Amino acid sequence: MATAEQLKTLIKSHFSEESERFFTIALQVAAHEAHQGHGALAHDIRSILDKARSEKSTKVLKFPAELHGLVLSEKPDTPKAALIMPGSLQTRIERIIHEFRQMHKLKSHGLTHRRKIMLIGPPGTGKTMTARVLAHELSLSLNTVQVDKLVTKFMGETSAKLRQIFDLIQLNPGVYLFDEFDAIGGERSMDNDVGEMRRVLNSFLQFIEQDKSDSLIVAATNSPKLLDRALYRRFDDVLYYKIPDTDGRKRLIQNVLGTFMPTKLTWKDIVSASESLSHAEIDQSCKDAVKQAILEDLKQVQPALLKQMLKERREAGLKE
Ligand SMILES: Nc1ncnc2c1ncn2[C@@H]1O[C@H](COP(=O)(O)OP(=O)(O)OP(=O)(O)O)[C@@H](O)[C@H]1O
Ligand SMILES: [Mg+2]
């Protein structure tokens, strides 16, 4: 028989929904039984646990067929250190990670961790990347909901699809990114088909309000003006992204160039050549310069070339 202590811990971990702890104790019980010479019982316990575990892990990847192409699932490996942002934003991201990791502690005091996050900002400033970093840091899958497809392709069925997505959010803890969120979040009065969009938006608001899952819901958009005020209240955090300042540009360039960073560089030139570019554009210019260095068998990027690449990006941006 399992020890009294094991039984008590097993029951406690069940009620506090600490499934990992429950598994560990149950395995200890199996080991204890084997030690006592109860081999058959130990074997039975282990096979129950193995079966439960494999069902749990396959469930994470199993989407209803209707959602194929609407939700893309991946396991990102983007480290937090790669994300360049102002200290204040970084602190708020750290807080999301910290509260998520301590959700059981907060729950035991009747509090919930922040888990509904809205990211707003211009293209290429790290919104999608942030969702990847969150998933990586929390060892969760990143499930990207293709909001534009959800709305345009299945206009009449959008609310039904949303319900299925929120069921998935409840069943499979993960990071759920509603990218291009403005497709549903658009100001109600601005839509051509006002009735339909209002229904979609209302059901989204209801779902997000009712959601009590352990998942992290991230919505990202470029256009704050398009967003409905009622939406803001439903989020625990609204984070504003901006193109990088001088310090951000320097840190980003150093990060991306890595060992290809030139030893002699006039920062003043590079800083002004990269002004008004987004993180994504600077990242791309640096990678172009590194490629060139590799093809020319150089160990470092040539400063003049980097400046040229940045200039090209800026000119391309001005033409758009
Ligand atoms: N803050 C950042 N720090 C470091 N790299 C960044 C940052 N933002 C963007 N990048 C680089 O640019 C790429 C594209 O960025 P990302 O997809 O996150 O932009 P976004 O804000 O989601 O843009 P969009 O609004 O167009 O979806 C990233 O994969 C990364 O390489
Ligand atoms: Mg994005």
User: From ligand 2's centre to the CA of 84, what distance in Å?
Assistant: 15
Q: How confident is the model at residue 59 (pLDDT cuts 50, 70, 90)?
A: very low
Length of the chain: 320
Q: In angstroms, what CA-CA distances link 63 with 66, 70, 141, 169, 171?
A: 8, 10, 13, 11, 11
What is the DSSP secondary structure assignment for residue 291, as one 8-state letter?
H
Q: What fold, for 246-319?
A: Helicase, Ruva Protein; domain 3 (1.10.8)
User: From ligand 1's centre to the CA of 228, what distance in Å?
Assistant: 24
Q: Which residues does ligand 1 sit against, CB inside 6 Å?
A: 82-85, 123-129, 220, 222, 252, 279-280, 283
What architecture is the 65-240 domain classified under in CATH? 3-Layer(aba) Sandwich (3.40)
| pLDDT tens for each residue of 203-258 | 888 899 899 999 999 999 887 765 677 778 889 999 999 999 999 999 999 999 99
User: From ligand 1's centre to the CA of 219, what distance in Å?
Assistant: 15
Instruction: Please determine, for residue 20, whether its predicted confidence score (pLDDT) is greater than 70.
Output: no
The alpha carbons of the chain give a radius of gyration, in whole angstroms, of: 25
Question: What is d(CA 304, CA 309) in angstroms, rounded to the nearest whole number?
Answer: 9
C-alpha angle with apex 159: 62 to 172, nearest 5 degrees? 25
Q: What count of other Cβ atoms lies within 10 Å of the Cβ of residue 11?
A: 12
Question: What's the confidence (pLDDT) of residue 83?
Answer: 96
Q: Are 189 and 225 in contact (CB under 8 A)?
A: no
Question: What is d(CA 161, CA 151) in angstroms, rounded to the nearest whole number?
Answer: 10
Q: Enumerate residues 6+ apart whose C-beta is below 8 A from 79.
A: 133, 136
| pLDDT tens for each residue of 283-300 | 999 999 999 999 999 999
C-alpha angle with apex 109: 107 to 114, nearest 5 degrees? 50
Percent helix, strand, coil in the chain (nearest 5)? 60, 10, 30
The number of the ligand 1 atom at minimal distance from the alpha carbon of 82 is 4
Q: Are 77 and 131 in contact (CB under 8 A)?
A: no
SS3 state of residue 106: helix
Domain coordinates in residue numbering, the chain: 4-59, 65-240, 246-319
Q: What count of other Cβ atoms lies within 10 Å of the Cβ of residue 182?
A: 21
Q: How confident is the model at residue 319 (pLDDT cuts 50, 70, 90)?
A: low
Q: In angstroms, what CA-CA distances link 217 with 6, 94, 252?
A: 36, 16, 27
Instruction: Please determine, for residue 174, whether its predicted confidence score (pLDDT) is greater than 70.
Output: yes
Tokens of 272: 């002004």
Question: What's the confidence (pLDDT) of residue 136?
Answer: 93
